[in-house]
Structure 1
Amino acid sequence: MAPTIFFIHLTIQIYILTSTKPCNGSTLITKFSTLLIFGDSTVDTGNNNYIKSQMKSNHRPYGQDFPGQVATGQFSNGKLVPDFMATMLGIKDIVPPFLDPNLSDEKLRTGVSFESARLGYDDVTSDVTLCIPVSK
């Protein structure tokens, strides 16, 4: 229950802080230009696809409700909370993983996810699961 309350609170705070203003009738201007994501597997947008970890979600049923119905490495069948937040803030539609080798400078500037699913807060956990430790 606490994470849901936190997310709702965070969403309300972001909505209040953005104070979007109409510009030329249709464009919205927000105070945010970048969204950097740190967390757990619920916000891993696919970093594990680019490391030796066995903890991957680049197969079905993951991605079946994602645009293009492709499993991107997100631990979800569709978009994740960071994707919805980035869209709500008017930054971008999808938050890419930091380790994506095709990441453009523009995508990097507007935000990425640094999360590696199953990383654990202890480096020993990351050594066992072959994920990126928090210390990195």
Structure 2
Amino acid sequence: MARKQKSIEEIDMEYKHKLRKIFHEYPALYYKYKEYLKNNTWDMAAYLLFDKYEEMKDPVAWMKRQEEYAEHEKHSKQLQAAHAARETQAELREWQLSRRDNAVQCPYCKSWDTDPISTASRVASVALVGVASGKIGKQFHCNKCGANF
């Protein structure tokens, strides 16, 4: 059996009927609805009012949702603070590395976290890999991107 589609007028009438019922049950929501109407269309204001009505019907559940939201916000701010601290530490480390004597900047990633390639390391690489060693003719190794230059 096919269901009959509701027309827009029928849906609007249902919304208006629900609104009248809410205003009868909670008269204070009428003023909230007027406030919502200042910034929204009537159907969006009605949607916001229905949400507010659900909050008033079950205040315990509403308070629980508010507490969960507050906990989520707190956790989010902690994560943002930790991320900012890590970025600051990385910038400080990079600045300290750039202040070293004979500091060399990586031409690829622009990091100052570089070390000279020792002769022993170069000899070991040539002994293991042979002429295809990536350290032949290179003087420095970048600890950030791993490039030899």
TM-score of the superposition, structure 1-length normalised?
Answer: 0.22
More helix by share: 2
- If you compute each CA radius of gyration, which structure gives the higher value, 1 or 2? 2
